[in-house]
Structure 1
Amino acid sequence: MVVVEPDPADFTTAVPHMMYALDYPMGNASTFSEYMAYRKIADVGLKVAVGGLGPDEFLMGYVRHSLVLFGADAVLAAGMDAYKPLAAKLLHAAGEDLDPAEAVTRLVLRGPDPERRIRDLIAAAMERAGDDPARALTLADLATAWRPLVMTSDKLASAYALERRSPFLARDLVELSYRLPVEYKIEHPAEGKRILRDAAEALGLPREVWGSRDKLGFASPVPAWLNGPLAGWADDQITTALAQAPTAMRPLLEAGLQPGGRFDRTRMQALMAAAWFHGQTVRAAA
């Protein structure tokens, strides 16, 4: 097993390279974790990386899915206390008649939504699923984060000449996953991807694999760094870009100068937008 333990200095040096590889601002801090993993994979001489894209979207693997399907109280009662900041987006709506599209929008948004474009995308996507809430959530994911997620993974892997394969995206498997009734996807707020858990148990894999309720995702320390040891550096990067940025970028950059929580990507989005703008300026001057 190879362990990668980046530090804040790694992030500051990686940002320009990440932006060059992506060629568009991507405000998800997990991209740094993914970038560092690909760099290490290439360093040890491997040429192919296998990724796990797909099951979370098609088999209800995200905590936000549980929050919509079961409600915030049930998710927190299931021991998912780490997600209180995310659940709070729904808890303050207690007593409101919150339709599913609005709930998903609150949970998906980690920054501004100019002109409610994300809300409209989600509502239109979920409407196509009819009365199946799990399929509606999948279509909401596909309409919003899915394409940038796939493109980001491919571009970051390509930056190190790696071939990235996603076996869970085989067409037959995707179509089967989408058609499955919701009870095959999730029956407990902390246990999404039920059919994969059942398969792992049947194959004799240890309980730590199929019985875990600790859904961490591809966690990143970057949000904490941007409000801690890298706060001054991040402010300098954003402020420098703000002095020259076009009017359309200014609201995001200004919002990024404010501290953000674990589930708020505004600061990361602003930083990556500043890095992208700086790269475009350098290229234009070359």
Structure 2
Amino acid sequence: MCGIAGALSPGLRHHGDALHALGRRMGDAIAHRGPDDAGTWADATAGVVLSHRRLSIVDLSPEGHQPMASADGRWVVAFNGEIYNHAALRAELAGLGHAFRGHSDTEVLLCAIAQWGVEAALERGNGMLALAAWDRVERVLWLARDRVGKKPLYYGWTTDRTFVFGSELAALRACPSLRAEVDPDALALLLRLDYIPAPYSILQGIRKLPAGSLLRLDASAPDAVPTTYRWWDALARQEAAIEAGFEGDEAAALDAFDMLLRDAVALRMEADVPLGAFLSGGTDSSLVAALMQAQSARPVRSFSIGFDNAEHDESAHAAVVARHLRTDHTELRADGRAALELVPRMATVFDEPFADSSQLPMALLCQLTRRHVTVALSGDGGDELFFGYGRYARALRNHARIGWLQRLPLAKRLASPGERARLGGWAALRAELAAEGLQGAARLRVSRWRDPERVVRGARRRNTAYEDPAALPRNGTHGDALMALDFACYLPEDILTKVDRASMAVALEARAPLLDWRVAEFAWSLPFSMKWKDGELKHLPKALLCRYLPSTLVHRRKSGFGAPVGDWLKGPLRDWAEAQLDERRLREEGHFDPAPLRAMWTEFQAGRRKWHTHLWGVLMFQAWRERWR
């Protein structure tokens, strides 16, 4: 796990020292992602520089140093991530005549690119990555992001026409000619979703490469424009898996799932550094921990976090699961003070504004885990693949029940009530009646602000997967469609972003076996009845977990992973929030209309409305702006 950055600067051609200096500045800005080693490489004739910060996981020797050049000198790569099937690829490449200096997966990826080309090498790999590859012969720069979007990659142009890229915005900000102005459209997306989805970013002119995508930039062409395309299309793969279907009954599906996930876990247990697992006590993390322990000769290290607020505390159940699995378990108790101390740092940890309040317990959990291990496996992805969210069931229920109401003349005269729809009651019903189809019902479930463009000055509405009809699978059930939308947007841009930034802030590598592409395609092939059965969410994973845990520990209510921000904003964070929402400050900064925000703040403090989730997004942006201005 590492951080990458770089630039293609026509203005710095034949200025090798200046290119290396730029690369070092960009790499130093993301040094937290890779504290073990640093390197830059430049092609002065083309004005290209690659920078790398290394967190050593596989092959701790200097043979794993990056950027790394191929044996023939044609290819140079800077790589963030892990190729889990590198041993099998190494054997295949050795049979084709390739020799290896060390045993790093980076060298295997580099040889694969030299042998088959960038796209074919990516297709043969099984892992997570953000990649920059420079072809010295064709003078082409390639950028790539893994299938699911576990590793981030930003890119864009500066005012002097330098093309810059990096794992985080901080790397791009290190380029002096970057114009770091806020994009109001992206800010509105932050308020709507709690995150900013690809391809957008908070900075104008800077984009995020979408999951499963390749970018190609021909440096030999004057005024070259990068082209992007999908090298792995999740929606197309889901449609194909649904069409093919799973051949067998539930018992056969359990056996297949057990074998497939066991292999995915085993691949992710390879490391030359200490390794453990996040264990919340929920189905997915418990299943991963169980399969780790089943394949380990000694107790697996497991980690959980507990809060003094019972609504957000699953630590007691995690401890019971750990005792049953016989893991070596460590628990952090957080009474609120530790999380509160983190709030001002969130703007630094997340680099781009991010407002999912579970960022706080995740950051604490990563801090705890990093004291003991360098790699941690997580259960991320299970909800989006196996129908694990209660909001899925609510969306299906409301879509079915409200459909007939929407045909009544009265419904056609009702407009959505705006932000009050989040507060329940008649306003929520009016919003449901105004929703258009299943996609509209899904959008209501994931939208925080319903109309953020009214409060963000100069903002235009930007569509995401939740508005795009082309994001829906052409086959399958309504449940498959809901999961497809989240797999395209919520999973990579919220869940995986949260885990990446929180873990990399402390130089911890997080791995997600359930997001192995083979597991994903297996899940898509299953009939929907194996995911939601007799009202039970995530049926098949729970059935599999019952092979490793007593059913009483498996079938329980999901608590979620959040933080009591409402209590904090009325208590210890009140003064901080008041300063962030100061009316004069809001007016002078010019990003928001102060009046509705101040009205929300007043109603919330008076206990008349629960606006804390709406306000949290504004506060996270304000803190970010204060940190980075």
Instruction: State the TM bucket, normalised to the shorter chain.
Output: 0.7 to 0.9
Displacement, 1:92?
Answer: 4.7
When structure 1 is superposed on structure 2, of 98-107 and 269-278 the one drifting more is: 98-107
Separation in 1, partners of 2:580, 2:622:
7
Paired position in structure 2 for 1:79 = none
Deviation digits for residues 1-52 of structure 1 (CA, Å, limit 9, x no counterpart): 4333334443342123222121111111000010011111123x22112211
Displacement, 1:188?
Answer: 3.9
Which structure 2 residues correspond to residues 188-267 of structure 1 after superposition, within 5 A? 188-189=534-535, 191-201=536-546, 203-212=547-556, 214-239=557-582, 242-245=586-589, 247=590, 249-251=591-593, 255=597, 258=601, 259=604, 261=610, 265-267=613-615
DSSP 3-state at the match of 1:65: helix
Displacement, 1:72?
Answer: 9.1
Distance 1:273 1:183, change over 3 A: same
For 1:28, which of 349, 356, 365 is the aligned residue? Answer: 356
Paired position in structure 1 for 2:376 = 49
TM-score, with structure 2 as normaliser: 0.38
Separation in 1, partners of 2:617, 2:433:
32
Which structure 2 residues correspond to residues 12-91 of structure 1 after superposition, within 5 A? 12-43=340-371, 45-71=372-398, 91=429
Displacement, 1:172?
Answer: 0.3
| Higher relative strand content | 2
Which entry has the higher C-alpha Rg, 1 or 2? 2
Q: Is the 8 A contact 1:104 1:122 kept in 2?
A: no
DSSP 3-state at the match of 1:3: strand
DSSP 3-state at the match of 1:53: coil
For 2:438, which of 85, 95, 100 is the aligned residue? Answer: 100
For 2:524, which of 156, 178, 192 is the aligned residue? Answer: 178
Q: Is the 8 A contact 1:11 1:32 kept in 2?
A: yes
Distance 1:153 1:194, change over 3 A: same
Displacement, 1:58?
Answer: 1.3
Paired position in structure 1 for 2:483 = 138
Give the total of aligned pairs. 264
Deviation digits for residues 194-229 of structure 1 (CA, Å, limit 9, x no counterpart): 11011112x1411233211x1222132223322444
DSSP 3-state at the match of 1:49: strand
> Which has the higher relative contact order, 1 or 2, with Cα contacts under 8 A spaced 6 or more apart?
1
DSSP 3-state at the match of 1:2: strand
Separation in 2, partners of 1:72, 1:6:
40
Paired position in structure 1 for 2:338 = 10
Deviation digits for residues 113-172 of structure 1 (CA, Å, limit 9, x no counterpart): 435535764442553344521221112113332222212211110111111111111110
Separation in 1, partners of 2:464, 2:481:
14
DSSP 3-state at the match of 2:331: coil
Deviation digits for residues 79-112 of structure 1 (CA, Å, limit 9, x no counterpart): xxxxxx7876764567777521111111101124
Distance 1:133 1:251, change over 3 A: farther
DSSP 3-state at the match of 2:482: helix
Question: What amino acid maps onto 2:619 in structure 1?
Answer: L
Separation in 1, partners of 2:595, 2:462:
19
| Higher relative helix content | 1
Separation in 2, partners of 1:2, 1:51:
15
DSSP 3-state at the match of 2:349: helix
Distance 1:86 1:64, change over 3 A: farther
Gaps of 5+ in 2: 1-328, 402-421, 454-459
Separation in 1, partners of 2:350, 2:614:
18
Distance 1:237 1:221, change over 3 A: same
**Taking every aligned residue pair, what percent have the same amino acid on both sides?**
24
The RMSD of aligned alpha carbons is 3.1
Q: Is the 8 A contact 1:241 1:278 kept in 2?
A: no
DSSP 3-state at the match of 2:333: coil
DSSP 3-state at the match of 2:462: helix
Gaps of 5+ in 1: 75-84, 282-286
TM-score, with structure 1 as normaliser: 0.79
Distance 1:206 1:36, change over 3 A: same
Distance 1:119 1:38, change over 3 A: closer
Q: Is the 8 A contact 2:399 2:438 kept in 1?
A: no
Distance 1:60 1:267, change over 3 A: same
When structure 1 is superposed on structure 2, of 224-233 and 166-175 the one drifting more is: 224-233
Q: Is the 8 A contact 1:19 1:272 kept in 2?
A: yes
